[in-house]
């Protein structure tokens, strides 16, 4: 089976240069840290485009496939521009993500609007922007979207998001397809939803079903189970209501390699399983071959990204852990604190030193739980060294915060030995730009 980019631990352009430093996209990481400061997010454009090519090649055997990138993984104007060039649409979950796509001049018909509690203003704006599909999550949204579409004298093209009752063995917080979930219509609620659409909500046009079973998935059979359930429902709906649905959105969730022990399936392996299953259910349930939507997010962007930090202080606990502290942590990468996520790292400027010691990389934030990597072997780490943490393209910047009133980090895109800022570093002025002081406080002296 062909290996795909999501199975690599590091960006595919990672090398050691003549100075003995780590190099990605033809750019010396130590020089990037000096030029742009740290913490610094680095995205390798070649790795990003490679995984896009992997997906397109893998699913080329089933021409009725639409790729929509899950923007929540990393949403910036430049990233959206690249993925638009690669032919991808976008799975969005907020007006902010929709507006970012609009700002990047993406074809808004390629946008799917997802989410379990969309507001009136978001739905109204999404209709005005002309998004291609609304994935409707609940009865409240069905009524609200129909009302807005009626007011605007237009129709909204929708999918019904369902909870298929499949539980994948990922972290509890990133399972979305099991029965006890905040997302989607339960299978027992589908009929009521369809009857409302057919009899009352005349400004909604139903095209198909949508499900998402989880994230960081390594289990290959879970997609087969999901497709089986959705095809069975489509067949039943056609027989019961005479309604022919021709779209199935099976979500995303393919895993990536964060540490050496991780062994995610390749895009090619997943594609074979999905395509074979689709062909099987088409014949089994006597339905038309559906248009299949895929929503890869993490597996598109994660491997392409690394984060650079500078080592500062260190602490040796007597007869215990040696901590080395870096200038970032849980505010630029909350995943270890939230999900107990594991990462791999190297010192970018010490590739010629082979003697290592076991250390724990601690963040700079005022929380005991601000630990990036526990018990990692590194070559004699010391103040001023540049740490490169791999596979941080997904859910790092997108989940970043201003905890401890620290500005969010810059992001650079590297390609062909050139680097360009695609997200600037937040300044002190940025941090207070939304603060307001009431006039009565301005006019008083606090003693």
Residues recognised as catalytic? 366
- Angle among Cα 83, 31, 364 to the nearest 5 degrees reads 85
- 53 vs 70: CA distance, rounded Å: 16
How many other CB atoms are there within 10 angstroms of residue 331's CB atom? Answer: 24
Supply the DSSP symbol for 176. Answer: -
Give the separation between CA 382 and CA 373, rounded to whole angstroms. 16
Q: Are 45 and 25 in contact (CB under 8 A)?
A: yes
Token pair for 117: 């509690």
CA distance 15 to 89: 32
| DSSP-assigned beta bridge partners for residue 23 | 15, 28
210-244 per-residue burial string, b: 16 or more CB within 10 A, e: under 16: bbbbbbbbbbeebbbbbbbbbbebbbebbeeeeee
Question: Starting at the edge strand that comes first in sequence, how are the strands of the sheet with 27-28 ordered?
Answer: 15-16, 22-24, 27-28
DSSP at 112: E
Helices (H), 295-371: 298-301, 335-339
Cβ contact 74:397 at 8 Å: yes
Provide the 3-class DSSP secondary structure of residue 240. Answer: helix
**DSSP, res 398:** G
Beta carbons of 1 and 269 less than 8 angstroms apart: yes
Find out whether 98 and 133 touch, Cβ atoms under 8 Å.
Answer: no
Q: Angle at the Cα of 154 (from 149 to 155), degrees rounded to 5?
A: 75
First to last CA, the chain: 73
């Amino acid at each position: 089976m062909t290996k795909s980019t999501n199975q690599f631990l590091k960006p595919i352009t990672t090398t050691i240069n003549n100075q003995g430093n780590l190099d990605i996209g033809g750019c010396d990481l130590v020089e990037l840290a000096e030029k742009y400061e740290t913490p610094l997010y680095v995205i390798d454009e070649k790795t990003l485009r490679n995984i896009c090519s992997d997906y397109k090649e893998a699913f080329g055997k089933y021409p009725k496939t639409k790729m929509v990138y899950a923007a929540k993984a990393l949403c910036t104007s430049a990233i959206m521009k690249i993925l638009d060039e690669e032919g991808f649409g976008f799975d969005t979950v907020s007006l902010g993500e929709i507006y970012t796509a609009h700002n990047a001049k993406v074809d808004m018909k390629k946008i799917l609007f997802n989410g379990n509690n969309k507001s009136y203003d978001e739905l109204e704006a999404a209709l005005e922007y002309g998004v291609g599909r609304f994935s409707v999550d609940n009865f409240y949204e069905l009524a609200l979207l129909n009302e807005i579409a009626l007011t605007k004298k237009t129709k909204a093209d929708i999918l019904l998001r369902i909870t298929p009752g499949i539980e994948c063995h990922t972290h509890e917080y990133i399972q979305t397809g099991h029965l006890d979930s905040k997302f989607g219509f339960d299978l027992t609620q589908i009929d009521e939803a369809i009857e409302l659409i057919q009899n009352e909500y005349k400004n909604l046009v139903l095209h198909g079903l949508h499900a998402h079973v989880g994230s960081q998935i390594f289990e290959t059979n879970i997609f087969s189970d999901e497709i089986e359930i959705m095809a069975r429902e489509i067949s039943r709906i056609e027989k019961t209501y005479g309604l022919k649905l021709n779209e199935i959105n099976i979500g995303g969730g393919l895993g990536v390699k964060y540490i050496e022990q991780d062994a995610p399936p390749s895009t090619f392996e997943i594609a074979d399983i999905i395509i074979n299953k689709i062909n099987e259910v088409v014949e089994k349930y006597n339905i038309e071959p559906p248009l299949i939507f895929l929503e890869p997010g993490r597996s598109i962007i994660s491997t392409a990204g690394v984060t650079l930090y500078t080592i500062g202080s260190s602490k040796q606990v007597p007869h215990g852990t040696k901590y080395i502290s870096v200038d970032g942590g849980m505010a630029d990468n909350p995943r270890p604190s939230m999900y107990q996520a594991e990462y791999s790292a190297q010192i970018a400027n010490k590739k010629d030193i082979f003697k290592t010691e076991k250390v724990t990389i601690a963040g700079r934030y005022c929380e005991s739980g601000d630990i990036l990597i526990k018990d990692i072997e590194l070559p004699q780490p010391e103040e001023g060294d540049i740490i490169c943490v791999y596979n941080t393209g997904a859910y790092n910047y997108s989940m970043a915060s201003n905890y401890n009133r620290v500005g969010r980090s810059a992001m650079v895109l590297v390609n062909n030995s050139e680097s360009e800022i695609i997200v600037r570093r937040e300044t002190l002025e940025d941090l207070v730009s939304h603060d307001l002081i009431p006039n009565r406080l301005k006019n008083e002296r606090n003693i």
